[in-house]
Structure 1
């Protein structure tokens, strides 16, 4: 089965413009065109586009994604490069997750702070329970 660019855009929650941009940037050399030049996407093309979306979500630059696609085209001789690339991506995503975890801790702390202030009807509840030298450190 083949899909039009608009069908693929809908399946992947992307815009047609984004898919055309990916094509212009050389990220879709695997997509065939019919005799009129219309892109004809296969299920395997959609699967590959999901990998591209994943790599983009990790913050990978287009030029690096293009290099990955070139490695895929080269075959088994680039298995090590592709493995290393995903190992590096994994480390970056883990670091991002840790940063988000720390951010969530701050957010949860501030939610708790404001929840207690709302229950008391004032932020002064926090000032009463803190030593004078910490009074301004936790407000806001």
Structure 2
């Protein structure tokens, strides 16, 4: 049986080595083709200079017309989740430091959104 990979335009935040990173800390926002494993667009993470870090990344992924977002564990606070959900963008969660092409992804749960929201509040109050 042959596995058929379907082209999907994905958005995420990465470090210098194209490994998953928190929306609030990663150096770049990337748009990539999941089928051909090709980065289509890469820009500096606009959230690094903003007070609304995670939601700004979500808005950027919507602006870039991503079909799916891979969020590193701790990235999907409630506002980010809501922005992506309202735009009908699929979401998956990966581990910080994993390759953007990892298959070790999981569905978003209410616990992920809760954890990410608490982490966002902590970062706002106390910094990184």
Q: Greater relative contact order: 1 or 2 (C-alpha under 8 angstroms, separation 6 or more)?
A: 2
Greater C-alpha radius of gyration: 1
Fold shared, TM-score > 0.5 on shorter chain: no
More helix by share: 1
With structure 1 as the length reference, what TM-score do the two structures score? Answer: 0.28
More strand by share: 2
